[in-house]
Structure 1
Amino acid sequence: MEIYLDILLLENVVINYLILYVTARFSRLRASTLRLFAGAIVGALYVVFIIIQPGGRVYYTALAKILLSFFIIAITFSPRKVLSFLKTLVIFYISTFIFAGAALAFLYFNQQGGFVKNGIIYVFGQSKGSLMFFGIATVGIIVKIFMEVIQSRITREKLLVPVIIAFDNRAIALPALVDTGNSLKDPLTNIPVMVVEFKALEELLPSEIKGIFENSKEDDLSCVTATISTSRWFSRFRLIPFSSLGKENGMLIGFKPDFIQVGEEDQKRDIKNVIVGIYNRSLSGDDMYKALLGPELVA
């Protein structure tokens, strides 16, 4: 089998550059184009070297490849801390496995065949270009999906704020999500409503109100009104109509707390004009937050 070193070098530079680019995106590290190319060339030269030195078995070992990875990461990103270096190294390996998996998948479907030896993929015939193209395209799609998921999570984390709810001389702390679509207000007073999971509020509520949610009677209007009307906290509770949270024309039981405190230690704000709406389901699939805040409550 004939191997054209110039083509091999070019292909590996391109693939290595893309792997390092993906690593930079996932690790959120800055690396200049020159550094990315420098790291890519080092990796490509290693492949060429082990081909022209077939007797040097030491270069095929896992230790040699790990040391090469260290060298590439050091050249490309120059992490100053050990933890940052190891994190970048892990992301580099994950990116490499993604590219290798895509290449092997297309190699499997390649009619002209190929094989893997000493960590190098060899492709027969004239399909190398198409294999590289489709492999890169597949990786591009995978990376785009991963980046969107990661970006979505980061964006959501930025919108999370700590909240303290005080009621009847007791208080609870919970994470809340600033929901730009939450414009819910008390129809009587026009006070904004924050929505909180019942489980997070349970210890604050009077026993008769807890009973409504424990028995899933929050949709039974006659039961709710009868219970609230006889509660000693009658003046603090509200019935708030809503048409979201997965339900049309629903009714949310709410109460006026002593106050809520929103924000981190150095940016805390006490808010008294707010209603806490009680929601008897989970608001977050991964429990990252227990409440929804309207943007006007954090402005």
Structure 2
Amino acid sequence: MEIYLDVLVLENIVMNYLILLMTAKFSKNKTSHLRLFLAAFVGAIYVAFLVVYPSLDVYYTTITKIAISFAIVAIAFSFQRFTAFFKTMVMFYISTFIFAGAGFAFLYFNHSGGFIRDGFFYVYWNSKWTVMVLCVATVGIIVKIFWEIIQSRLVKDRLLLPLKIAFENGIINLSALVDTGNALFDPLTHSPVIVVEFNAIKSILPEEIQNIFEESKEDDLVRVTKIVSNSRWFSRFRIIPFTSLGKENGILIGFKPDYIEIGDKNERKGVTDVIVGIYNKALSKGENYNALLSPDLV
């Protein structure tokens, strides 16, 4: 059987990258596409090395494979605590098992598709890309189903959370609802948007922005744009379109805070890559909460 080294490296880079991308989604560990690619490349080179030098049995051992997986995760992600690294490693193995299970299933149902040797899949050329495409499609469906289950369980267990917003010299403490319907993103930076009541956050806003909401002129796009563009906080503010909250084709005035903190003192999470959208009505009739959080931020 002929093995094309360049094709082997390419397909392993693609699969490793997708596994790491899934790991990032599950662990909510932020990284860059470059780091994911470099980590995927390291994994692909390891497989290619084993194909070129099959006699080096030491590199087939479980310890070596675990060490390589540790290196791949360390390259792909940044860590400040060992617990975060351990959590990401667990997610990495779960993602790997999902992809491997999907690949094995297609090999099982298609006996001419390939074989497994020394812990690696070898797929014949005439069915290689078919198996890869079907594998990725299957994994996508599995991940979507399990992600929705995880998110629904998360919302059920942690429905209301303390929220702290820091902006300039002001800090506001709020109660936020984890809202699965909040899928707002800033169109400029693609950062998730937290929807907050104006009255709850009024004290830390610039005076000219307060005037817009007190006069109920937040839907006047021309006026809003003019006021925001002339403000010294111009670089911090955003105009965010939305089609929720009982209104279609609406806009939210948003701003980039210095940082936010989600959760109590026992489990607190800090976030800087986020936008706060200001809503000029009450979000809760019973005043149980005054902000809406996206599940992606929890």
Q: Smaller-chain TM-score range?
A: 0.5 to 0.7
- The 3-state SS of whatever aligns with 1:16 is helix
Deviations 1:44-93 (A, max 9, x none): 00000000011100000000000001101110002221111111111100
- Change over 3 Å in CA distance of 1:94–1:81 after alignment to 2: same
Residues 219-260 of structure 1 show CA distances to partners (whole Å, capped at 9, x for unaligned) of xxxxxxxxxxxxxxxxxxxxxxxxxxxxxxxxxxxxxxxxxx
Provide closer, same or farther for how the CA distance between residues 48 and 161 of structure 1 changes in structure 2, counting only shifts above 3 A: closer
Question: What is the DSSP-based 3-state SS (H/G/I as helix, E as strand, rest coil) of the residue aligned with 1:121?
Answer: strand
Preserved contact between residue 112 and residue 125 of structure 1 (Cα < 8 Å): no
CA distance in 1, matches of 2:124, 2:67: 30
Identity fraction in percent:
56
Distance verdict in 2 for CA 1:122–1:178, change over 3 Å? closer
Q: Deviations over 1:156-179 (max 9, x none)?
A: 3442479xxxxxxxxxxxxxx999
2:286 partner amino acid: E
Alignment-mate amino acid for residue 140 of structure 2: G
In the superposition, relative to structure 1, how do residues 161 and 99 fare at CA in structure 2: closer, same or farther (>3 Å)? closer
Label 1:265 to 1:126 Cα distance change in 2 as closer, same or farther (>3 A): closer
1:178–1:295 Cα contact (<8 Å) kept: no
Mapping of residues 158-173 of structure 1, within 5 Å: 158-160=158-160
CA distance in 2, matches of 1:58, 1:135: 30
Indicate how the Cα distance of structure 1 residues 37 and 161 shifts in structure 2: closer, same or farther if over 3 A, else same.
closer
1:90 paired with 2:90, answer yes
Counterpart CA distance in 1 for 2:285 and 2:12 is 50
| Aligned residue number for residue 28 of structure 1 | 28
With the length of structure 2 as denominator, give the TM-score of the two structures: 0.54
> What aligned pairs does 1:278-289 form with structure 2 within 5 A after superposition?
none
1:41 matched residue in structure 2: 41
Instruction: Name the structure 1 match of 2:76.
Output: 76
Query: What amino acid is the match of 1:152?
Result: S
- Is the Cα contact below 8 Å between 2:31 and 2:78 reproduced in 1? no
SS at match of 2:126: coil
1:35·1:77 contact (CA, 8 Å) conserved in 2?
A: yes
Aligned equivalents of 2:178, 2:16: Cα separation in 1: 41
Shift of 1:153: 2.6
Q: CA deviation at 1:125?
A: 4.6
Instruction: Give the length in aligned residue pairs.
Output: 175
Change (3 A) 1:156 1:107: same
1:155 aligns with 2:145: no
Q: What amino acid does structure 2 have at the position aligned with 1:79?
A: F
Q: What is the correspondence of 1:232-271 to structure 2 with a 5 Å cutoff?
A: none
Please tell me the root mean square deviation across aligned C-alpha atoms, in Å. 2.6
Please list every run of 5 or more consecutive structure 1 residues that lacks an aligned counterpart in the other structure.
163-176, 180-263, 267-293
| Maintained 8 Å contact 2:113/2:128 | no
The alignment status of 1:296 with 2:292, answered yes or no, reads no
